[in-house]
Amino acid sequence: MASHQGKVAFITGANRGIGFETAKKLGELGITVVLGVRSVSKSQIALESLIAQGIKADIVHYDADDQATNDEVFNYLNNQYGKLDILVNNAGILLEGIMGKNTSSSISQETLNHTFNTNLFAVISLTQKLLPLIKKSDAGRIVNLSSILGSLTLHSMENSPIDPAKAFAYNASKTALNAYTIHLASELKGSGIKVNSAHPGWVKTALGGTNAPMEIEDSYKTSVRLATLPNDGPTGGFFHEGDTLPW
């Protein structure tokens, strides 16, 4: 297995759920993990849990609804580490029910704006801010937490397996995030930086709900795989664990 000693990862929304499990597994590989959290004081338990396990972990204030925190994150990472090897854009919101009535014709502008701001625009602005630090890495990796519900191919196919899940704002924000993955990967082609979208699975989180089949403890697999890709690994793709998903 390749050595990951000396690498630094920043994970947004890392105080719980998929983000926390991702941080823990990256930390177990010897990577220093920096948790991006909305409340530093309320996230101390998560940080202390990682440190108690022998993981090199740190914490910094990050709020997808406050672009000013992008500067806080950049300044902290730049001053403490001088580079960033891995960015996991994990933070996201779902303001609609995943299953149930299709409300595409009646969804509010407020729900659309808030969902796209967190799931897309905040990801873009943070990534742009941190890209100079990622370019200082020998093998930069950007992982965008998407969802299979962003797949237009699967939604539009006959007898679609995801047909009942028509949360339009959420789904469309993930479709747009996938477009960003494709475009950024194309721009950075040849730079050594790899950009990919990850579908972690339907996970028992505050967002996924209690009916989800995947336990939180197993939710890290796709993110960690894409965050630690070898030099000959893919870029500009959409994956769940080892499987390639259709756009």
193: domain CATH number? 3.40.50.720
The amino acid sitting at 131 is L
Copy the structure tokens of residue 99.
């299953």
Q: pLDDT tens digit string along 145-187?
A: 999 999 999 999 998 888 888 999 999 999 999 999 999 999 9
Mean pLDDT (whole number) for 52-69: 96
The dihedral of CA 199, 200, 202, 206: what is its sign?
negative
Please check whether residue 129 lies inside any domain of the structure: yes
Show the domain range for 87.
8-244
What is the spatial distance between Cα 169 and Cα 111, in angstroms, rounded to a whole number?
Answer: 7
Q: pLDDT tens digit string along 12-49?
A: 999 988 999 999 999 999 999 999 999 998 899 999 99
- Check residue 226 and give its pLDDT: 98
| Tally of domains within the chain | 1
Cα of 168 vs its chain's centroid, Å: 20
The amino acid sitting at 187 is E
**Residue 86 bridge partners (DSSP):** 9, 141
* pLDDT band at residue 2 using 50, 70 and 90 as cut-offs: low
Where does residue 12 fall: left (phi above 0), alpha (psi -120 to 50 degrees), or beta otherwise?
beta
217 pLDDT above the threshold of 50: yes
**pLDDT, averaged across the chain:** 91
- Check residue 4 and give its pLDDT: 72
Please check whether residue 26 lies inside any domain of the structure: yes
Please check whether residue 1 lies inside any domain of the structure: no
Please check whether residue 3 lies inside any domain of the structure: no
Please check whether residue 120 lies inside any domain of the structure: yes
Q: pLDDT tens digit string along 114-155?
A: 999 999 999 999 999 999 999 999 999 999 999 999 999 999
Copy the structure tokens of residue 68.
């000013």
Radius of gyration of the chain (CA): 17
